[in-house]
Amino acid sequence: MLKVVTAFLSGLSKKEKQVFYIAAIFVSLAFIGRVAVAPILGRAKEFNKKIVTQTSFTGKNLRVLEYKNKIHAEGKAYSEYFVKMDLTQDEFIADFLSEVETLAKASGGALVNINPVTVEENNEYQVFNITVEYAGTKRDLLDFVYSIEDSKKLIRVSAFDISVKNRDKYKVKCTLKVIKLIVAG
């Protein structure tokens, strides 16, 4: 084979040999490009794509972690409202009723009637509803409603109906719907 190539080259003129060598250089460069360089560049492009995907994925994860930290910080701010669900429902009801009675006594009025508690349950929270009749002066009623609304235990007055009990002594009778929200912690 080497003899054939040397015989071929000896039959060429000087200009033809230069053209042949230049063509051989281009062919060998193209061959090396196809065999060695193209696969390396292809792998480099694949790696670049993976880097871009992983970078965007990491950015998303960082955002999620930032949100997680914010949620934990906000959760700590509201942690005083969370209740450990280690008490039974009857114990929660008894606690709720005693809180309302304590607030009523502190305001100076009296609870005349307490209707049974109804419970609305959800996965994250429970809502306890009671209807109470309160008797006292207007000032006592305002103090009672304010103390309920100001409670840190998520007790609120959701509805009320006021009527006059005794005009001469400024006594009123009020039916209040009081709710307590218990958030599972």
pLDDT per position as a tens digit, 92-119:
888 888 899 999 999 998 889 888 888 8
Q: Are residues 19 and 96 in the same domain?
A: no
Structure tokens at 185: 């912690």
Please state the domain count of the chain: 2
Which of the listed residues 47, 75, 103 is the one where a domain comes to its end? 75
Residue 133 pLDDT greater than 90, yes or no: yes
Q: Are residues 34 and 109 in the same domain?
A: no
Q: What is the pLDDT of residues 141-171, one digit of tens each?
A: 999 999 999 888 888 999 999 888 777 677 8
Give the pLDDT band (50/70/90) at residue 80.
low
Q: Are residues 35 and 118 in the same domain?
A: no
Q: Are residues 178 and 100 in the same domain?
A: yes
Q: Are residues 67 and 88 in the same domain?
A: no
Q: Which amino acid makes up residue 164? A: V
Give the pLDDT band (50/70/90) at residue 175.
very high
Q: Are residues 69 and 136 in the same domain?
A: no
Q: In the prediction, which pLDDT does 83 show?
A: 65
Q: In the prediction, which pLDDT does 82 show?
A: 66
Beta strands in 7-150 (DSSP E): 82-83, 110-114, 118-121, 125-137
pTM of the model: 0.57
Q: In the prediction, which pLDDT does 35 show?
A: 83
Q: Burial code of 53-74, b = ≥16 C-beta within 10 A, e = fewer?
A: eeeeeeeeeeeeeeeeeeeeee
What is the span of the domain harbouring residue 9? Answer: 2-75
Which of the listed residues 75, 98, 113 is the one where a domain comes to its end? 75
Query: Average pLDDT of 81-96?
Result: 76
Task: Quote the percentage of the chain above a pLDDT of 90.
Answer: 19
Which of the listed residues 75, 97, 115 is the one where a domain comes to its end? 75
Q: What mean pLDDT is reported for the chain? A: 84
- Name the strand (E) or helix (H) holding 75: helix 38-77
Rounded CA separation 100/155 (Å) = 9
Give the pLDDT band (50/70/90) at residue 81.
low
Q: Are residues 91 and 165 in the same domain?
A: yes
Q: Are residues 141 and 100 in the same domain?
A: yes
Residue 1 pLDDT greater than 90, yes or no: no
Choice among 36-40, 76-80, 104-108 with the minimum mean pLDDT: 76-80
Q: In the prediction, which pLDDT does 84 show?
A: 65
Residue 77 pLDDT greater than 80, yes or no: no
